[in-house]
Amino acid sequence: MPTFSSQASSIILFGPPGAGKGTQAVKISQSTGKPQISTGDMLREAVNRGTDLGNEAKGYMESGQLVPDSIIIGLISERLKQPDASDGVLFDGFPRTIAQAEELSRIAKVSTVIMIQVPDEDIVKRIVGRRMDPETGDIFHVKFRPAPEEIVARLIQRKDDNEETVRSRLNAYHQQTKPLSEWYSGLSERSDLRIISVDGRGSIVQVSESIRRELEVS
């Protein structure tokens, strides 16, 4: 059995690109007190700073492929050493491959996997309309979550949020990430891991409510 520095348990937010993981993570992080760890945000920060790791990851991200497991596992292992991770964390966009999940099971205890289900045709609309506030990190959508008028001018669109790259990202999701849902379902049958499956097609508020209700039942 692996030993952990702390038995505090973590939560995974799982779903396709654009499912609403980042949007929901903010609320779940507030209600559980667990810090949000988004590998996508960490990678984008490394790309912007021009670090070696960022330069290595950049091409994969821009073409919609997954960044190699060794890079991601290195990032996560370092992040989990920070003091704020000692009571468990909320993983957003990690793990994305079975190799990442296997490594995670060696270094942290996961109590809950929240799976947000959204069909591919909705994903494209969500991703193409996504806009980010570079000052606060807030996530908006031109139609589904419009930003206040006074900040619209400073919003940015992620370089990989275009229709062509979305197709590659969805492909990577179906090939490499989706099999993880079976992997975690199997694990939940032989452990106390809890799987919460949520219909992600409702409004942002409806999805938050479904997650909140399910988390309360624990």
| Contact flags string 140-179 toward ligand ADP, x per CB under 6 A | xx--xx-----------------------x----------
110 binds ligand ADP (CB under 6 A): no
| Contact flags string 78-107 toward ligand ADP, x per CB under 6 A | ---------------xxxx---x-------
Helices (H), the chain: 21-32, 39-49, 52-62, 69-79, 98-107, 120-128, 163-172, 179-189, 204-216
Q: In the set 12, 47, 104, 139, which binds ligand ADP (CB under 6 A)?
A: 139
Cα distance between residue 107 and residue 105, in whole Å: 6
Which 3-state string (H, E, C) describes 58-113?
Answer: HHHHHCCCCCCHHHHHHHHHHHCCCHHHCCCCEEECCCCCHHHHHHHHHHCEEEEE
Binding residues for ligand ADP, rule CB under 6 A, total: 37
66 binds ligand ADP (CB under 6 A): yes
In the complex, least distance from residue 1 CB atom to ligand ADP, rounded to whole angstroms: 25
With CA atoms as reference, report the closest residue to 145 among 17, 22, 12, 15.
22
Report the catalytic residues.
21, 96, 130, 158, 169
- The site for ligand ADP (CB under 6 A) is made up of 15, 17-23, 39-40, 43, 60-61, 64-67, 72, 93-96, 100, 126, 129-130, 139-141, 144-145, 169, 200, 202-204, 207
